[in-house]
A and B are shown apart, each in its own frame.
Chain A
Amino acid sequence: MSEKKQQVSRRQFLNYTLTGVGGFMAASMLAPMVRFAIDPVLKASAGGDMQAVADVSEITTEPQRFEWTVEQVDAWYTSDVTHSAWVYKNENDEIVPLSPVCKHLGCQVNWAGNEDYPDQFYCPCHDGRYLKDGTNVPNTPPDAPLDLFEYEVKDGTLYLGQPVPREEV
C-alpha cells in the first residue's frame, strides 16, 4: 500500500498539475486564434441569400417584372427593402433574370417602356436603352449591360441572389 502511494512523487504531481494548467491556458488562448484564422471558411457566404421570387410556370418569353421584399438589418435599424427583377425565358429555354437598375444613374428601366422601342428596355430618366438580353444600346447614356441576378430553380420556384455586373460588350 505504502509503495503504491509513493508512485506519484511530489515533483511529478507538481509537474502534471502545472502542465495541465499551463496547457489549458495555452489552449484557451490558441482556440480563438484558430477560429479567427479559419473564419472566412466558416462564414456563410454573405451574398448566398437566395430569395424566392416567382413560380417558374409564371415565366414566359416576354420579360415580366417581379418584386420581393427583403428584411435588411444594419447597425441601427431593421427595414424592409423592395427589390425588383425583369425575368423571361430565352430561345434556349434558359431563365434570364435582369436587374432593372439602369447602369447610367440607377433609375428603374421598363420593358417596352417607350412606344418607339417595343422590344427594348427603356429608362425614362435619360432615354437609356437596352436590348432584350440586357446589352446597352450604343449612343444612349448607359455604358454597361444590365446586371444579371444569380439564380437557381428549386421545386418549380425561382430563387434570386445578388445582381452581378457584366463587362461591356
Chain B
Amino acid sequence: MKWDTIDLKTYFKSKEYVDTVCIPLVPLNLSNETDAIKFANYQQTIQIIAKEVERNFTGRVLLSPVYTYFSEGSYEAEQERINQWTELMFGEDFKHKFFLTFDLKWKKEEKGLDGTLLWLPASMIEDYQSEVTKKWIMDQKSQVSELIRSFWQ
C-alpha cells in the first residue's frame, strides 16, 4: 500500500493483513554538486524500486514516505532518531520493518537499527527509459521481493 489517500483508506480497513513496512532511507546534501546529484539520483531510483516492490506485495506491505537525513551528520545519532521515529510511527502493528537504502554507511550501523537493513549497491542511472535500466530495476525488485518473502516464512 502506498502513502496516498486511496491506499491508506484500504489500510485502515484491512489493518490486520498488513504487517510489513518498507522505509526508504535517503541521504541529502547540497554542499557539493557531485554528492547532491548522486543523492538525488539515489532518491529517484530507490523510490522506483520501492514502488515496484510495493506493487508486488500491495496487500501486505506499507510503503512509508522517504526518510531523509543530512549525509554528513552523525549516523549514530541518526540511527537513534530513525529507531524512535519508526517506533512511534509503526510500533507494534508491524512485525517486519525494512529499511531500503543505497547509502553504504548504514551497513556499519546495521546492528543498531530496529529493523532489517536492505542495502543495495548503487548505480548512477542516466537513462531511466533504457532497456538495461529497466532490466536492472526488475532484477532489484525481484531480489528484494524474494528477501522480504523469506522473512514471512
Interface residues of A (CB under 8 A from B): 67, 69, 80, 82, 101-102, 104-108, 123-126, 141
A residues in contact with B149, CB < 8 Å: 124
Known: A125-B59, A126-B17, A126-B60. A105 touches B10 (CB 8 A): yes
Does B58 interact with chain A (Cβ within 8 Å)? yes
Contact present for B55 and A105 (CB under 8 Å): no
B94 to chain A, nearest CB (A): 14
B52 touching A106, Cβ below 8 Å: no
Cβ of B57: which chain A residues have Cβ within 8 Å of it? 107-108, 124-125
B59 engages A82 (CB within 8 Å): no
Given contacts A124-B149, A125-B17, contact A104 B52 (CB under 8 A): no
Say yes or no for B56: interface residue by CB 8 A criterion: yes
For the complex, give the distance between the alpha carbons of A80 and B59 in Å.
Answer: 22
Query: Given A105-B14, A105-B17, A125-B17, do A82 and B52 touch, yes or no (CB 8 Å)?
Result: yes
- Chain B: CB-nearest residue to A81: B55
* B152 CB contacts on chain A under 8 angstroms: 124
CB <8 Å contact, B17 and A108: no
B56–chain A nearest beta-carbon distance, Å: 5
Residues of B within 8 A of A124 (CB): 57, 149, 152
CB A122 to nearest CB in B, in angstroms, measures: 11
B55 contacts A82, C-beta separation under 8 Å: yes
Q: Please give the distance in Å from A152's CB to the nearest CB on chain B.
A: 26
Q: Which of B91-136 contact A (CB under 8 A)?
A: 129, 134
Give the total of B residues in contact with A, Cβ under 8 Å. Answer: 15
Most buried by A among B14, B55, B152: B55
Let me know if A105 and B58 touch, CB within 8 A: yes
Q: Is the CB of A125 within 8 A of B55?
A: no
Contacts A125-B17, A126-B17 hold; do A104 and B55 have CB atoms under 8 A apart?
A: no
B52:A107 contact, CB within 8 angstroms: no
Q: Roughly how many angstroms separate A82 CA and B52 CA in the complex, as a whole number?
A: 9
- Enumerate chain B residues within 8 angstroms of A104, measured Cβ to Cβ: 17, 59
Residue of B nearest to A103 (CB): B59
Cα distance, A69 to B122, chains bound together (Å): 24
Which B residue sits closest to A102, measured CB to CB? B59
Could you jot down 16 A-B contacts, CB within 8 Å? A69-B134, A82-B55, A101-B58, A102-B58, A105-B14, A105-B60, A107-B56, A107-B57, A108-B55, A108-B56, A108-B57, A124-B57, A124-B152, A125-B57, A125-B58, A125-B59
Chain A hits for B60, CB < 8 A: 105, 107, 125-126
Q: Whole-angstrom distance from the CB of A101 to the nearest CB of chain B?
A: 8
Compute how far the CA of A123 lies from the CA of B56 in the bound complex, rounded to whole angstroms.
Answer: 10
A159 to B57, CA, bound (A): 26
Known: A105-B58, A124-B149, A125-B57. 8 other contacts (CB 8 A): A82-B55, A101-B58, A102-B59, A105-B17, A106-B58, A107-B57, A107-B58, A108-B58
